[in-house]
A and B are shown apart, each in its own frame.
Chain A
Amino acid sequence: MNKRRLEYQDYSDPELIAGCLNGKELCQEVLYKRYFSYAMSISLRYTRNRDDAMEVVNDSYMKVLDKLADFDPSKSFRAWYSKILVNTSIDYYRRNLKRKDDISVDMISDMSDEEPVIDVELSVDDILAIFSRLPENYKLTFNLYEIEGYSHEEIAEMLGISVSTSRSNLARAKKTVREIYFKEFKSNPARNEAV
């Protein structure tokens, strides 16, 4: 079994996809694991923690297997998969909409327009800590616009909001990120000294 798995690991994406289409579970597993890190790096930016991110990855992969017959092999599987991941993340956001969290009053009142310079090395965990403090709609808009490269018009359509709301969410997200960074990273002398 392991020998066969090793063999499959040498397969190209189109070969694995063909195997998945033929119902070969080993191909599904190898393809899943090949893109797992990539998928997690996307879903983590949209979710609250690793468990939720893994759930988004698994939901997305289920969609991948369901829709694999529609996939055009001449195009990049990675790009196709990332689109499914983003869409599933938006679904995740919508599911969590029913539980509305409010940003604390203290947080908003303390926000300043000061623009700190990033002079410390931010790890993934640091970025996730900053993201976790952003309201969901800000985080979603920031990721879709700044990282995925969607336009405000596209984001507005995807989230069912107006273009101006999308713009405002992004501006607020950036401001909040700056504020959190200023409070948590710049105000920590021990940390700055180390860098």
Chain B
Amino acid sequence: MKQFDDIFKEKVSSSFSNADYSQLADDGWKAFVRKQKGGRKLALVVPFWAKAASVAVLLSVGGLFVYKSFNDKPLVVSENAAPYKESVNPAPEPISESVKTAVLLKNCQLSPESYKAAEEKPAVNLLTVSDAVPETDSIASVYISQDITFQADTVRNNASVQEENIAENQIAGETNKQDLPAEVAVEEVSGSRRTSLIAGFAGIMSEAGSKSASTPGVSVGFFIDQKLGKRISFRPGIALSKFAYASVPVASAKVIDRMIYASAFNSQVPVNNSDNKLDVITMEIPLNFVFTVLEKGKSGLYISAGASTLIYLNQQFSGDYVGMVTQKSYDAVTGALIESSVPQAFNVKSEDKAFSHTDYFGLANLSAGYSMSLGKSSMLLEPFIQLPVSDLTSFDLKIKYGGLSVKYRFGR
């Protein structure tokens, strides 16, 4: 008697080598043609690298906002306070007389004699004027750009005009100096308000189908608040959430699909659930717009709306089910094959790992919040609801969320 393993191996080899699936060849070819022509395009719609890239882009944008919020202040101040900087900067290094003469001669088609004459007269002041020119424009560049055809008289006239300008510039410079502290202060405030970092956590109740979550979920996240206008701002973020559900209404097909002996079960027959459990960890990327409704002193009321993309980091499912199994037997008398369906209890366990499923803009976010000042920063209390735009998780569940988030804004 041959060993079982050898006999089984032989049976596998012989059975499959004699198997004839040619009746499926036409269907197979049609499916292949479809795949060849359209399937590849579909596969390209959201390949894995694109999902990863989109996450990376979102994180980068968030990082950029954070970076800008901490590094942009000097830039904003310098941009707006430019007139002051120019007027208070120390005078440019003195340029030697020979350089001045060379520049003038080269660019102004002025004969040495007429230049000399002009230099002895008020045109001398012209060089003095240039000392007050902002440092960004060197003396040479000022002269070159002016493209003046020097003549002794016009030089004199220009000199007087420049003298007037000096006086005006000096007055303006002094005015700027006086205005500076207030201006910088205003800019600093508006700069800090433009972008701010928010950190927060939330307690969340959720409902899958008509079943509430077995325990409240928690969420921790970071957000960037970017002011777009006086009353509107854009608030992207990233948050990690954990939820646990029990007795969720998972479709039979989804359960059977996760069974070890999937093919033994009749997928057309619904399986009855006695108990199941679903633990989900998600990375949520909310993109919300915030509208300030009321602002009173340092407090305010706002409403927020947007959508969230959910990237699943882990989905653990387990459940006890009763399903119908097709059993084959042979009639003892006639030898005919008899197929019968019998109920069988079974346990299903599955774990979908990180990034195995993503719901792009799967949730619509709605919230209203109250912000209150806490010294140089502020605290936000924000009740919210999230409604499903599409089926969520790998189990295609309609999940609603609601809760209260407490956020801390760094800077007002």
Chain A residues near B (Cβ < 8 Å)? 29, 32-33, 36-37, 40-42, 44-45, 48-50, 54-55, 57-59, 61-62, 98-106, 115-118, 122-124, 126-129, 132-133, 135, 146-147, 174, 177-178, 181, 188, 190-191, 193-195
Q: Determine if A190 and B350 form an interchain contact, defined as CB atoms under 8 angstroms apart.
A: no
Which chain A residues border B16 with CB–CB below 8 Å?
A: 41-42, 44-45, 124, 127, 147
Q: How many whole Å from A192's CB to the nearest CB in chain B?
A: 9
User: Ordered nearest first, which 5 A-B pairs have the shortest CB separation?
Assistant: A194-B330, A41-B16, A132-B263, A40-B21, A36-B25
Q: Determine if A101 and B260 form an interchain contact, defined as CB atoms under 8 angstroms apart.
A: yes
- Rounded to whole angstroms, the CA-CA distance of A135 and B44 in the bound complex is 31
Chain B contacts with A in 263-290, Cβ cutoff 8 A? 263-264
Whether B82 sits at the interface, judged by CB under 8 Å, is: no
Interchain CB contact (< 8 A) of A32 among B1, B5, B20, B32: B32
A62-B35, A100-B351, A123-B15 known; A193-B21 Cβ under 8 A:
no
Interchain CB contact (< 8 A) of A132 among B1, B7, B264: B264
Give the interface centre of B4, B5, B21 by most chain A CB atoms within 10 Å.
B21
Q: Determine if A98 and B352 form an interchain contact, defined as CB atoms under 8 angstroms apart.
A: yes
Q: Determine if B8 and A118 form an interchain contact, defined as CB atoms under 8 angstroms apart.
A: yes
Q: Determine if B28 and A127 form an interchain contact, defined as CB atoms under 8 angstroms apart.
A: no
Q: How many whole Å from A179's CB to the nearest CB in chain B?
A: 11
Q: Determine if A177 and B8 form an interchain contact, defined as CB atoms under 8 angstroms apart.
A: yes
Q: How many whole Å from A129's CB to the nearest CB in chain B?
A: 6
For the residues of A in contact with B, the DSSP-based class is: helix
Q: Determine if A37 and B20 form an interchain contact, defined as CB atoms under 8 angstroms apart.
A: yes
Which chain B residues border A115 with CB–CB below 8 Å?
A: 3-4
A32-B32, A37-B20, A98-B356 known; A122-B349 Cβ under 8 A:
no
Q: Residue on B with the closest CB to A53? A: B21
Chain B contacts with A in 1-44, Cβ cutoff 8 A? 1, 3-5, 7-9, 11-13, 15-17, 19-22, 24-29, 31-32, 35-36
Q: How many whole Å from A152's CB to the nearest CB in chain B?
A: 16
Interchain CB contact (< 8 A) of B28 among A41, A58, A62: A58
Q: Determine if A98 and B260 form an interchain contact, defined as CB atoms under 8 angstroms apart.
A: no
Whether B335 sits at the interface, judged by CB under 8 Å, is: yes
9 more A-B residue pairs beyond the given contacts A62-B35, A132-B262, A191-B330, with a C-beta to C-beta distance below 8 A: A37-B25, A57-B28, A61-B32, A100-B351, A102-B349, A103-B260, A147-B9, A191-B329, A193-B332
Which chain A residues border B331 with CB–CB below 8 Å?
A: 190, 194
Whether B346 sits at the interface, judged by CB under 8 Å, is: yes
Q: Determine if B264 and A133 form an interchain contact, defined as CB atoms under 8 angstroms apart.
A: yes
Q: Determine if A190 and B329 form an interchain contact, defined as CB atoms under 8 angstroms apart.
A: yes
Whether B353 sits at the interface, judged by CB under 8 Å, is: yes
